[in-house]
């Protein structure tokens, strides 16, 4: 399937998972920018927000959480699709995530099929709402 060269940003502090996801999306034709440091992502994202089509972020990271990062990004670009991935966590639930504008909330471990489908659907619906 063609990705139309969509640009995805991955924020994941676990190096091995970050590189797995980078490869996964690159192999499906997406342009990928990956941050393994949430503070770095926090600084860099506002500068490239206009070029991004979707953000995939882990929730639990040293520095700032995926939810905090999402809040800051959505304040600047409310319509940007964000997928928040989380392991077992008491701190966040779907209601909270959706309330601040997260598009999809996925529990780890996530199947690659499910992840690719979620990304595809979000990008398709964004394309529709823009056209």
Residues 31-52 pLDDT 10s: 999 999 999 999 999 999 999 9
Q: Rounded distance, CA 76 to CA 86, Å?
A: 23
Any residues with CB less than 8 A from the CB of 129 and at least 6 apart, and which?
79
pLDDT of residue 131: 53
pTM above 0.75, yes or no: yes
- Other Cβ atoms within 10 Å of 17 Cβ, number: 16
Is the distance from CB of 55 to CB of 9 less than 8 angstroms? Answer: yes
Residues 45-100 pLDDT 10s: 999 999 999 999 999 999 999 999 999 999 999 999 999 998 866 567 778 888 99
């Amino acid at each position: 399937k063609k990705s139309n060269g969509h640009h995805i940003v991955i924020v994941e502090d676990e190096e091995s998972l970050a590189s797995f996801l980078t490869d996964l999306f690159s192999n499906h034709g997406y342009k990928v920018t990956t941050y393994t440091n949430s503070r770095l992502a926090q600084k860099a994202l506002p500068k490239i927000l206009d070029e991004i089509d979707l953000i995939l972020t882990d929730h639990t990271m040293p520095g700032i959480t995926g939810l905090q990062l999402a809040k800051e990004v959505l304040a600047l670009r409310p319509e940007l699709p964000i997928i928040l991935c989380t392991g077992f966590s008491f701190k966040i639930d779907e209601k909270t995530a959706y309330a601040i504008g997260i598009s999809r909330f996925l529990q780890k471990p996530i199947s690659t099929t499910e992840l690719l489908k979620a990304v595809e659907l979000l990008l398709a619906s964004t394309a529709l709402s823009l056209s």
